[in-house]
């Protein structure tokens, strides 16, 4: 079978939204399927892409968008005489049995107009996934129509949570009967649950890209700068990299928290995180399926989180963690306060978190996705 994977991630070389499709592509190659990948050009090839190419995948690099005037004029001139992009021509020449469109958001594909129109035409069967949603979001009727046309033609529209599916249905005013929730692969320690850290200075962990608009680090820092937290013995460990690191470091200094907040960078081994941290905090404004939520629960850690994406599907307020209604200072402060006052219960809550997550986890989401793609290619 010939599979094509379109990755539309443009704001970073790699990220959590790329894990599911790349692992699925690796399994497809191991089973003897052919694989073509299209992705944005980068100065350095991400390690998972290098591994896929080494395993036999074909890779097409599309040129990243440039706002420079001469580049925009050149693109317009080329498009006038050659409406189909080089990427579309490569896909058409490859003639996949099925195409998988990986969106970091929920409408990325509509901005790739020639590929979007090719998909809508029914020329190739495809499955599309949405890793992120925004609610609220301002859309005009033309955008809604374009998104809906792509979704309706797809064999499946995959989302990361039931809440995300319902939001998309409301925003598009359509039942989207071909929607299906899919879990993402997880980065888990070898032994679960892990031993709970000993008492002492409380270690709070945020494991997320340093993207304040989406991940809400700024709101958390504001809360932790409040009077109630000044006399408490705690440290906030921020794991991850991202475009807002300099801003968040300045904000940390502004709130006089530089001796309490540590930017730990990216840590690939989750066991190194949960060996020392007592609680996971998810202050996100926008999120579909924070994989770290399930990773922390399976490691035996309670979670304080905003009510985003799949969080309410997994986290039971007061039982396995504490839920804030929104990423607002007052709401997050109330949830963190309830959590702090329940410190004696944290080990037991972590154990319950492990038990709840263990009962709901998919053991191999990439294998599940590959089976779905194989089935849809046969229809």
- What number of CA atoms fall less than 13 Å from residue 104's CA on the CB side? 15
Query: What's the pLDDT score for residue 72?
Result: 47
Query: What's the pLDDT score for residue 291?
Result: 86
Closest CA to 350 of 302, 291, 305, 318: 302
Write the pLDDT tens digit of every residue in 309-334.
889 989 999 999 999 999 999 999 99
Write the pLDDT tens digit of every residue in 190-199.
788 999 999 8
Which band of pLDDT confidence, cut at 50, 70 and 90, is reported for residue 188?
A: confident
Write the pLDDT tens digit of every residue in 74-102.
555 555 555 689 999 999 999 999 999 99
Does the pLDDT value for residue 71 go beyond 50?
no
Write the pLDDT tens digit of every residue in 143-172.
999 999 999 999 999 999 898 999 999 999
Query: What's the pLDDT score for residue 74?
Result: 52
Query: What's the pLDDT score for residue 225?
Result: 98
Domain boundaries, the chain: 2-185+364-378, 202-360
Write the pLDDT tens digit of every residue in 20-57.
999 999 999 999 999 999 999 998 999 999 999 999 99
**Contact status, residue 150 vs residue 172, Cβ threshold 8 Å:** no
CA pair distance 129, 66, nearest whole angstrom: 26
Q: Name the 3-class secondary structure at 48.
A: helix
**Contact status, residue 314 vs residue 287, Cβ threshold 8 Å:** no
Does the pLDDT value for residue 65 go beyond 60?
no
**Contact status, residue 66 vs residue 56, Cβ threshold 8 Å:** no
Does the pLDDT value for residue 123 go beyond 90?
yes
Judge: domain 2-185+364-378, CATH 3.40.50.2000.
yes
Q: Name the 3-class secondary structure at 328.
A: coil
Fold agreement between 2-185+364-378 and 202-360: yes
Q: Is pTM beyond 0.85 here?
A: no
Superfamily name with CATH number, domain 202-360: Glycogen Phosphorylase B; (3.40.50.2000)
Q: Whose structure tokens read 């053991």? A: 363
Write the pLDDT tens digit of every residue in 166-176.
999 999 999 99
Q: Name the 3-class secondary structure at 263.
A: strand
Closest CA to 3 of 81, 102, 77: 102
CA pair distance 59, 95, nearest whole angstrom: 15
């Amino acid at each position: 079978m010939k599979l094509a994977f379109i990755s539309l991630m443009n704001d970073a070389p790699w990220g959590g939204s790329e894990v599911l499709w790349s692992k699925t592509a690796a399994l497809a190659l191991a089973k003897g399927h052919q694989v073509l990948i299209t992705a944005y050009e980068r100065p350095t090839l991400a390690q998972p892409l290098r591994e896929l190419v080494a395993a036999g995948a074909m890779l097409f690099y599309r040129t990243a968008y440039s706002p420079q005037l001469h580049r925009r004029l050149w693109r317009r001139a080329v498009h006038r005489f050659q409406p189909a992009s080089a990427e579309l021509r490569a896909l058409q020449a490859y003639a996949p049995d099925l195409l998988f469109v990986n969106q970091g958001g929920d409408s990325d594909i509509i901005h790739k107009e020639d590929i979007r129109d090719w998909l809508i035409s029914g020329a190739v069967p495809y499955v599309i996934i949405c890793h992120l949603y925004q609610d609220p979001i301002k859309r005009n009727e033309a955008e809604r129509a374009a998104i809906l046309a792509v979704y309706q033609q797809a064999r499946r529209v995959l989302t990361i949570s039931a809440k995300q599916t319902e939001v998309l249905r409301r925003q598009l005013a359509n039942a989207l009967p071909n929607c299906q929730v899919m879990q993402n692969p997880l980065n888990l320690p070898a032994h679960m649950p892990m031993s709970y850290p000993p008492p002492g200075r409380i270690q709070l962990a945020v494991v997320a890209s340093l993207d304040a608009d989406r991940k809400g680090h700024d709101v958390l820092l504001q809360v932790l700068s409040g009077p109630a937290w000044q006399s408490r013995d705690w440290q906030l460990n921020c794991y991850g990299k991202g475009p807002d690191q300099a801003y968040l470091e300045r904000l940390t200094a502004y709130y006089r928290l530089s001796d309490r907040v540590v930017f730990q960078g990216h840590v690939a081994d989750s066991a190194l995180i949960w060996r020392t941290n007592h609680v996971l905090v998810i202050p996100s404004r926008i999120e579909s399926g924070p994989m770290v939520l399930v990773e922390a629960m399976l490691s035996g850690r309670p979670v304080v989180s905003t009510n985003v994406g799949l969080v309410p599907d997994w986290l039971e307020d007061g039982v396995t963690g504490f839920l804030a209604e929104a990423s607002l200072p007052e709401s997050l402060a109330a949830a963190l306060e309830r959590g702090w006052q329940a410190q004696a219960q944290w080990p037991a809550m972590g154990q319950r978190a492990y038990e709840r997550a263990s009962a709901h986890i998919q053991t191999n989401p990439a294998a599940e996705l590959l089976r779905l793609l194989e089935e849809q290619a046969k229809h």
